[in-house]
Copies of this chain bind each other. A is one copy, B any other.
Amino acid sequence: MAADQLLLSAVSLISALQLGYLARCVGRSRLKHNISPPTTTGHAEFERTFRAQWFSAYDRDPFSHPSQNCVEAYLPFLVTLWVSGLFFHEGLAALGGLVFIFARQMYFNGYVTSAKNRLPGFYLTLAAWLTLAALGTVGILHHLLDEYLDINLRKMLFKS
Contact = CB atoms under 8 A, between A and B. Distances in A.
Interface string A111-141: 0000000000000000001000100110010
Given A9-B86, A80-B13, A67 B64 contact: no
Given A17-B137, A78-B79, 14 more contacts: A6-B87, A6-B144, A9-B87, A13-B83, A16-B80, A19-B75, A20-B72, A20-B76, A27-B57, A28-B58, A38-B63, A38-B64, A71-B71, A74-B75
Interface of A: 1-4, 6, 9-10, 12-13, 15-17, 19-20, 23-24, 26-28, 30, 36-38, 40, 53, 56-61, 63-68, 70-76, 78-80, 82-83, 86-87, 129, 133, 136-137, 140, 143-144, 147
